């Protein structure tokens, strides 16, 4: 049941943390590719658990958030994109997704997304683009905007969100860059 899933999540996070530590303190290129592949596999397992049992996200968000955020600083495009998929699953939860997004904003998620949209990789830019919509969007529930302040948007602006949007607009207009430009507009 849920206890087995929680234990699986803890084990996945532990393995991810070990891979991150080795990548950050190792200068061996030979094992780097194997570690990145293993990290992607672990993230995909985590994604599958979160998709099947979204109620577990809230129980493990505090321990999961830092290793997943660290994935965004790994050089591998595939690791970054898979970590962004994980983040998207976390913040797409109907009940607590907005709260999870606020938590992510407190651990430098907005500047990390800023770095992603400035990446030369189209794949990374396109994986990061949907988060800009989340940062700028209305705080809605049951389809109607709420009248309270929008913490995420305020954090986005405070973390240099305007310059992130401007950088998106500086992309050369092409089929590859359409999505990031349209999101910024």
Q: What is the pTM of this model?
A: 0.85
Structural contact between residues 156 and 108, judged by C-beta atoms closer than 8 angstroms: no
Q: What is the pLDDT along the chain (185 residues), one digit of tens a residue?
A: 788 999 999 999 999 999 888 887 766 666 788 889 999 999 999 999 999 998 889 888 888 889 999 999 888 999 999 999 999 999 998 888 889 999 899 899 999 999 998 888 889 999 998 899 889 876 555 455 555 678 899 999 999 888 888 888 877 777 677 777 777 77
Report d(CA 162, CA 86) in Å as an integer.
25
Q: Which two tokens mark 70?
A: 């660290």
């Amino acid at each position: 049941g849920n206890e087995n899933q929680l234990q699986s999540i803890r084990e996945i996070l532990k393995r991810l943390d070990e891979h991150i530590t080795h990548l950050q303190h190792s200068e061996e290129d030979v094992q780097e590719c194997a570690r990145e592949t293993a990290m992607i596999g672990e993230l995909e397992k985590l994604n599958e658990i979160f998709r099947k049992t979204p109620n577990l996200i809230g129980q493990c968000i505090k321990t999961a958030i830092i290793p997943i955020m660290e994935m965004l600083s790994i050089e591998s495009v595939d690791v970054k994109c898979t970590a962004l998929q994980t983040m998207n699953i976390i913040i797409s939860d109907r009940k607590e997704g907005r709260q999870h997004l606020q938590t992510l904003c407190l651990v430098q998620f907005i500047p990390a997304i800023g770095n992603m949209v400035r990446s030369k990789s189209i794949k990374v830019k396109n994986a990061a683009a949907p988060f800009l919509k989340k940062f700028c969007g209305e705080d809605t529930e049951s389809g109607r905007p709420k009248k309270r302040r929008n913490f995420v948007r305020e954090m986005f602006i405070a973390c240099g969100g305007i310059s992130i949007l401007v950088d998106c607009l500086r992309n050369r207009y092409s089929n590859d860059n359409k999505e990031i430009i349209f999101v910024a507009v």
